[in-house]
Structure 1
Amino acid sequence: MLTNHFCHWPKRVPFKLTVPGTTLYDNLAVSTRRYPNKAAIHYYGATLTYRQLKEQVDHVAGYLRHVCQVKREDRVILYMQNSPQYVIAFHAILRAGGVVVPVNPMNLTDELAFYLEDSRASIAIVGQELYPRIAPLHIAGSLAHVLCAAYSDYLPASSVYELPEEVKASAQREFTSPVALWRQVLAQKVEPGPEIGATDDLAVLPYTSGTTGRPKGCMHTHCTVQANVLGAVHWFGATADGVILTTLPLFHVTGMVHSMLISVYTGATMVIMTRWNREVAAQLIERLECTHWTNIATMVIDFLGNPNLGQFNLSSLAVIGGGGATLPEAVGEQLLKRTGLRYVEGYGLSETISQTHFNPPDRPKMQCMGVPSFNVDARVIDPETMRECGPHEEGEVIVHGPQVFLGYWQRPDENQKAFIELDGKRFFRTGDIARYDDEGYFFMVDRVKRMINASGFKVWPTEVEALLYGHPAIEQACVIGIPDERRGETVKAFIVLKRDSSSSVTAEGIMEWAKDHMAVYKCPRVIEFVERLPVSGSGKVLWRVLQEQEQAKRLRT
């Protein structure tokens, strides 16, 4: 186990932490007893106290348990944007004994069908603007119950902030099939009964994609999630007086842990934005004196690009950091000049419910994964021989720690490949190539095989290819990532058209078609029509050849 990084550990912070033997819902119950009248959520000028938050969580949980018949470890789809209802629904599912299946609100009907089938969920809590996407599955009988929420239910009578269209929209009353309206559910005030959750029960099933491109559910218990909640609280010195600017999507493990769950654990206040808006973010920081902001690089770049930024007082900010994509060093220096704060990067995966590595807040390194977190044994190995590598040697990162998931949902074959035994410990193979320096700081070298990182979103080419094959004119498709100044990387598709379609199909037409069949961040932004794709002797498409040709082409230009 590496220990060099302990020399640079934050002062007065222990090297190890004991994970609480309680549930995530219990964090809310404790904070409510401690701070009943304190603001739990600010939402575009409206406030929800901890007492109000817990009451609404309990009533939604009662509805789920007694009306929807949620039983212990039943999966429930949570498909909505950042909002008070997201926080309420997340904790209500847990209070009812269920498992939260957080789904990216950018996903469309075809993608939703897979999550429903794979997780075996029969209940969904949905933002009303997203209901049309899930309606075909509801009508077809894949869903027994749908609870629909309008974000405007939580707005003040008037707001001084620019509001997203989906937030301003009034609550609908008619849908294509029977749904339970959020306000009607709360009005029933169904009591949930005794708490049935336990620390080793499944709590969250976030989906990630493997090297095959097939999404996989990561099985996390209350205990694995609590490990990272507690770790984040202690690492950043979070307290009940924190005011957390919540801009990262809460379906994502980083936003879930660092914006929502540490706030609930400490009794801090979440300042929730449904959609990113750099002007509104600056207004909220100044007016509400936000102290913590976890984000991604693209948000920071956009935030600093605001010509009006100099008009705002940002002095309340104490910690700014994030992950998902490396922040360019020049941007980090610009942030330091503007706020006096170094950007604190971290590294983690859905399989580890966010961080396994943190940069020490008082000694961060730029474009760096950080050092192993509390109780984490992180090493670098040769992915072929399994030999453990030393400082400055490149290899695959493997991690052992309390936040590592139990395994992939219903994927026994994938689980065998995902873990290895070393020194009597079970390590998760991240698939990411990195190295560490003499001080124990880890640095990313390359991402796992084919994964494309578009503005912090993971895009798996095989999944995009599978969806593209649904187009009637496409005979073959191969997807790679190419550099993009704004997104870091973007999606390019090489396409072989069917002979009878080659004269009538355009790149623009395929890109428009893709928007109806996959989340927008997965859609190809560049399409190149080719006569044939390079293949191996066994008939496999040689995507690496296309990647290398693309890189060579860009070097020449």
Structure 2
Amino acid sequence: MELNANWLARLASYHPNRPAVYWRGHWISYADLYQRAWRAAASLAGLGVAGGDRVAVLGPNHLGYLELYFAAPLLGFIPALLNHRLSEAELKELLEYTRPKALFYTEDFALPAQRLHPQAHPLEALQTLPERKIPDFTPSLEDPALLLFTGGTTGLPKGALIPYRQLLVNAIQTCMSWGLSPEDRYIVATPMFHAALNALATPLLYLGGQVLIQERFDPALYLAWVREHRVSLLFLVPTMYQMLAQHPDFAQADLRTVRWAISGGAPCPRPVRAAFEAKGVRFKQGYGLTECGVNCFTQSLEEAEAHPESVGRPMPHLWARLAGPDGQEAQEEGELWLSGPVLMSGYFERPNETAQALVVHQGRTWLRTGDLARRDAEGRYYIVGRVKEMFISGGENVYPIEVERALYEHPAVLECAVLGVPDPRWGEVGLAAVVLKSPIGEEELKGFLKARLAGYKVPRHFLFLSELPKSGPGKILKGELYRRFREGSHA
């Protein structure tokens, strides 16, 4: 099979004047976007960048991400997208690991970038550096298109090699299964260094739709853009939806153009979904991984509303199974394994980690996701939690997601996270880290939970915080919560 990795060239010729990307107050057409990608490739060739070289990016959302993304199939280099929220020491480790030929940065990261790499340039320089003729290059489906780093909540993040095969199949499946339209518009507000490029930006641009880039998530501006630009699709992580729902402008926000909203990264609390549903926005729960990219399940709006905790069924060209600890089929609940043409190639220069993540079972290569899931009689999947996050209290399995969902039912709870901590009597008990909207005591919360959960599931310890620590993509850092617990009076 052959697919065209340089598909932007076709769209630039089909509808050159059609708006593609909204950036800093102006629309950039498909023809202009392709021209900018071509100029970026010529600039990189002038720096001596060639096929297989890594080119790193450091900074918040920026048009330069797309310029590099679409320049890559013209020259054969691999964009390596760095989490700008990491410390300089952590970034130094990632650069030593991936050895990029050049590092491009946004203006607010000039000083650390220049300290970190001898070939550091502002992203704007992609359009102005001395250029060189671009050599003939046609990428294969297995060539690496991106180097995306896993969450890295503990230890050095691994670089997942994303082949063109993944990007293209994900785009096609998402357009088809999610019912996207060339008339759809979407605001890229989640970090482009993570999965934003291949979640909705690539599928929409593949169709001829429009993408608006928000440099840093600003709830007031986001709500204003939805109204002003008639945005039709929302794609955010739960924390961002919560920030919108809590913003003073939300009550008067005009969301009538939104066809549906989808939440990724973690289950979205029911009260947050309800706030959008009250304004007429239909809601779906999504699921995906960097390594399996990145939209893995699909469901109709009617099914999503009838089964709001479900992520739906596997995409047409994706296979899913539930595996027990021995890798054999689990009937009702087990680790979610995924297989298909959207799998990563592996982790960059990490053969041991690759072998642990990608396993062969009955002649098929599977990704062990590390997520616990269950499947109902109609084939719908539900994410139960992380394999490593489940804890055993007095011999009983406790899934943090179940406890978190119950906590979110309390009107005083803004955010929460639950994890297991050691206990001399029960082996492990629950710790609930909670951010409150209004004052409430630990005993009242325990009483609220006891009316909804078995006693062994009710957290023994509570940690009240002003905010929960999060990673760059917005995931709650439970390891940091455990550290704070151990350093406190409960240690």
Tell me what 1:500 maps to: none
Tell me what 1:4 maps to: none
Higher relative contact order by CA 8 Å / sep ≥ 6: 1 or 2?
1
The 2-side partners of 1:527 and 1:328 are apart by: 24
Q: 1:36 aligns with which of 16, 26, 36?
A: 16
1:136 aligns with 2:115: yes
- Aligned partners of 1:396 and 1:429 also within 8 Å: yes
The 2-side partners of 1:48 and 1:378 are apart by: 39
Aligned-pair distance for 1:49? 1.1
Tell me what 1:247 maps to: 189
- Aligned partners of 1:380 and 1:396 also within 8 Å: yes
Q: 2:303 aligns with which of 363, 368, 373?
A: 363
Q: Given the superposition, is the C-alpha separation of residues 520 and 238 from structure 1 closer, same or farther in structure 2, using an over 3 Å criterion? A: closer
188-197 or 50-59: which moved more?
A: 188-197
Tell me what 1:527 maps to: 484
- Aligned partners of 2:313 and 2:381 also within 8 Å: yes
- Aligned partners of 1:211 and 1:449 also within 8 Å: no
Tell me what 1:541 maps to: none
Tell me what 1:497 maps to: none
The 1-side partners of 2:175 and 2:475 are apart by: 34
Amino acid in structure 2 at the alignment position of 1:135: Q
Give secondary structure in 1 for the equivalent of 2:140. coil
1:484 aligns with 2:434: yes
TM-score of the two chains, using structure 2 as the length reference: 0.78
Aligned-pair distance for 1:80? 2.2
Superposed CA RMSD in Å reads 3.3
Q: Given the superposition, is the C-alpha separation of residues 431 and 286 from structure 1 closer, same or farther in structure 2, using an over 3 Å criterion? A: same
Q: Given the superposition, is the C-alpha separation of residues 34 and 113 from structure 1 closer, same or farther in structure 2, using an over 3 Å criterion? A: same
The 1-side partners of 2:78 and 2:47 are apart by: 14
Aligned-pair distance for 1:183? 5.2
Tell me what 2:141 maps to: 199
Tell me what 1:403 maps to: 342
Tell me what 1:92 maps to: 71
Matches within 5 A, 1:150-299: 181-182=125-126, 184-185=128-129, 188=130, 191-208=133-150, 213-253=155-195, 255-299=196-240
The 2-side partners of 1:274 and 1:212 are apart by: 27
Aligned-pair distance for 1:388? 0.5
Q: Given the superposition, is the C-alpha separation of residues 195 and 241 from structure 1 closer, same or farther in structure 2, using an over 3 Å criterion? A: farther
Tell me what 2:281 maps to: 341
Matches within 5 A, 1:353-392: 353-364=293-304, 365-383=307-325, 385-390=326-331
358-367 or 408-417: which moved more?
A: 358-367
Amino acid in structure 2 at the alignment position of 1:21: L
Give secondary structure in 2 for the equivalent of 1:404. coil
Aligned-pair distance for 1:223? 0.7
Aligned-pair distance for 1:136? 2.0
The 2-side partners of 1:117 and 1:221 are apart by: 22
Aligned-pair distance for 1:93? 3.2
Amino acid in structure 2 at the alignment position of 1:363: E
Q: Given the superposition, is the C-alpha separation of residues 70 and 109 from structure 1 closer, same or farther in structure 2, using an over 3 Å criterion? A: same
* Amino-acid identity (%): 23
Amino acid in structure 1 at the alignment position of 2:3: G
Amino acid in structure 1 at the alignment position of 2:128: Q
Q: Given the superposition, is the C-alpha separation of residues 417 and 94 from structure 1 closer, same or farther in structure 2, using an over 3 Å criterion? A: same
Give secondary structure in 2 for the equivalent of 1:251. coil
Q: Given the superposition, is the C-alpha separation of residues 129 and 486 from structure 1 closer, same or farther in structure 2, using an over 3 Å criterion? A: farther
The 1-side partners of 2:345 and 2:123 are apart by: 32
State the Cα deviation string for residues 213-252 of structure 1 (Å, max 9, x = none).
3321112110122111111111222232221122111111
Q: 2:264 aligns with which of 313, 319, 323?
A: 323
Tell me what 1:148 maps to: 122
- Aligned partners of 1:76 and 1:93 also within 8 Å: no
The 1-side partners of 2:161 and 2:250 are apart by: 42
The 1-side partners of 2:272 and 2:486 are apart by: 36
Amino acid in structure 1 at the alignment position of 2:4: T
State the Cα deviation string for residues 37-87 of structure 1 (Å, max 9, x = none).
11111124212111111111101110101x211111211112221122221
The 2-side partners of 1:38 and 1:297 are apart by: 32
The 1-side partners of 2:295 and 2:369 are apart by: 12
1:434 aligns with 2:361: no
- Aligned partners of 1:250 and 1:260 also within 8 Å: no
The 2-side partners of 1:300 and 1:530 are apart by: 31
The 2-side partners of 1:438 and 1:88 are apart by: 45
- Aligned partners of 1:371 and 1:440 also within 8 Å: yes
Aligned-pair distance for 1:425? 1.1
Q: Given the superposition, is the C-alpha separation of residues 115 and 45 from structure 1 closer, same or farther in structure 2, using an over 3 Å criterion? A: same
Give secondary structure in 2 for the equivalent of 1:206. strand
Structure 1 residue runs without a partner (length 5+): 1-18, 151-180, 459-479, 488-513, 532-545, 551-557
Q: 1:307 aligns with which of 240, 248, 254?
A: 248
The 2-side partners of 1:529 and 1:389 are apart by: 35
Amino acid in structure 1 at the alignment position of 2:121: L
Aligned-pair distance for 1:521? 7.5
Aligned-pair distance for 1:129? 0.7
Q: Given the superposition, is the C-alpha separation of residues 189 and 134 from structure 1 closer, same or farther in structure 2, using an over 3 Å criterion? A: closer
Aligned-pair distance for 1:91? 1.7
The 1-side partners of 2:142 and 2:328 are apart by: 33
The 1-side partners of 2:273 and 2:177 are apart by: 20
Tell me what 2:55 maps to: 76
Q: Given the superposition, is the C-alpha separation of residues 84 and 530 from structure 1 closer, same or farther in structure 2, using an over 3 Å criterion? A: closer
Matches within 5 A, 1:36-55: 36-55=16-35
